[in-house]
Amino acid sequence: MESTDTRMGSGTTYRWRRMAAVLAILVIAGASTAPALHAQDATDSQETPDVVIPGTGDEAEDSAGEAVATEEETTEEAVEPATEDNEPAEEPEPSTGANVEVAATDTGHPAVMAHGLAFLTGDQAVWQVREVEPDPSPGSTEEVSNAAIVYQVTGSSVIRNDLTGKRALLSPGEVFFKSGGDPYTTFADSDDSVIWIFEVVGSDLVAGDAFYESPLIDDFDQGVFDFQIIRYVLEPGDVATLPAHTGTALVLSTDGNIDIEADGLSLLGTGNGQLVTLDATVANNSSDAVTFMMLAFGSEVGDTAASPGDDDSDSGDATSDEVDTSTTETATTESTVDDAADNSSDAGSSSLRTSINITAEAELYVVIVADGVTAFDGPIPVGGQSGEIVGSTFEVYTTVGVGTLFTNACGDQYYMGYEEGEAQYTLTANASSCEA
């Protein structure tokens, strides 16, 4: 029993010694961690520097014993030039976009609302703008005019080409090109329908309902040109440079006040216009968006077929009978004629005389100027004829080129062109022409 008691006593002593050792270790561990737990609250205690990740802007200061940079300091260091050993990729500076114009027509979001071909006589003319309240009856009196552009101000309207029967419905802000010489009927589709009509006319032909008439214009050349209307919308502070054009253009405000600088500075209110010949800029110095229109002629359009007597003529698609009396100048589908009696430049210069007669293979409106004198001006029904017209030089306008059949003094028949719309032709007698 004594030996047994001795072993038990020895085991108890051993266990107490082990427990004391464990407690000593815990006390030592607690003592070593206590300062670290309170280091976050101390203002002057040293702290082990964070691990630096290159290129992130979290770099610590060089001195090993100094504190890590604050958030603000780190941000400043991030934008400082990087070292050669650790250079971050450069980011491009953002563009403000202010006053950046890659083309003169960018500002104002210009849009060509409508265009078509128009014949200019080369005579003195004026721009006119008419305000019309269309009659609500579809049976309203038809109107024949020069090439014109119709702008729907309020309400809605229907425009019908009485020659083709084709119609168009206009809502506010929409526009329509009217071919010169074609009869049109415009009637209201709502009670508040109001339209503005833009066109170039002779100074003695200004309409009574025109609210704008420009000064006389002398720089229009004779020919067929692309007639177009361009809309601009300027936000407050915007400045737009107007594009190049042929002859004198018209700028007219349709909504708001604009400042236009063209050989001087002018303020235009709604419905006011200004002629533009050279470079011009338009600015919106108001606090609201404004809208204005530019009416202008673009490039000259047309092609000329050489007469059979020309050395360089190699046309293989026309017989000598077809072209033996003419040098042709044709315009495409929407070309128009304005007072064709004034259009011939060297009328009657040839001593040779021949004749032409036109047969309508479609309903036509035809103007024939022989040696500077209007010999025929009016409609020709299908199968009808203009009658024989004698002269040396003929200017012919027709509403349907392919439907216009010519007969020369020899009795031969031919077409001058195959346009499905309007066309303008010039025919001149030559040595091969049959004498009338």
Residue-wise pLDDT tens digits, 12-47: 444 555 555 545 544 444 444 443 333 334 444 444
- Domain end (from 258, 285, 300): 300
Measured CA to CA, the distance from residue 130 to residue 125 in angstroms comes to 16
Whether 254 maps to a domain, the answer reads yes
Contact predicate 405/359, CB 8 Å? yes
Say whether pLDDT at 435 is over 70.
Answer: yes
133 and 282, same domain (yes or no):
yes
Burial class (CB in 10 A: 0-12, 13-18, 19+), 87: exposed
- Please check whether residues 326 and 183 belong to one and the same domain: no
The three-state secondary structure class of 235 is coil
Residue 293 sits in the same domain as residue 372: no
Q: Kindly state whether residue 85 falls inside one of the protein's structural domains.
A: no
Given a cut of 80, whether residue 372 has pLDDT beyond it is yes
* Same-domain pairing of 278 and 193: yes
Q: Of 275, 300, 325, which residue sits at a domain end?
A: 300
Residue 34: inside a domain, yes or no?
no
Are both 236 and 368 inside the same structural domain? no
Q: Where are the alpha helices (DSSP H) in 58-192?
A: 71-78
Task: Check residue 144 and give its pLDDT.
Answer: 87
Could you tell me if residue 42 is inside a domain? no
Question: Would residue 2 count as lying in a domain?
Answer: no
**410-418: long-range pairs with CB below 8 Å, 24+:** 410/321, 410/324, 410/434, 412/321, 412/322, 412/324, 413/359, 414/318, 414/319, 414/321, 414/322, 414/323, 415/322, 416/326, 416/328, 416/330, 417/328, 417/330
> Is residue 418 domain-shared with residue 366, that is, in the same domain?
yes
CATH at residue 260: 2.60.120.10
- What distance lies between CA 371 and its chain's CA centroid? 41
Residues 381 and 232 in one domain: no
Domain final position from 242, 270, 300: 300
CB neighbour burial string for 123-138, b if at least 16 within 10 angstroms, e if fewer: eebbbbbbebbbeeee
Residue 291 and residue 350 in one domain:
no
* Shared domain check, 285 and 167: yes
Helix (H, G, I), strand (E, B) or coil at 322: helix
pLDDT at 366: 92
* Residue 378 falls inside a structural domain: yes
pLDDT tens sequence across 388-420: 999 999 999 999 999 999 999 999 999 998 888
Residue 181 has pLDDT above 50, yes or no: yes
Indicate if 262 and 410 belong to the same structural domain: no
Non-local (6+) Cβ contacts of 91 within 8 A are none
Q: Does any domain span residue 403?
A: yes
As for how many domains the chain has, the answer is 2
Residue 90, Cβ neighbours under 10 Å: how many? 7
Please compute the mean of the pLDDT values over residues 141-167 and round it to a whole number.
89
Q: Which domain holds residue 396?
A: 303-428
In a domain, 83, yes or no: no
Q: Answer yes or no: do 134 and 260 share one domain.
A: yes
280 and 417 assigned to the same domain: no
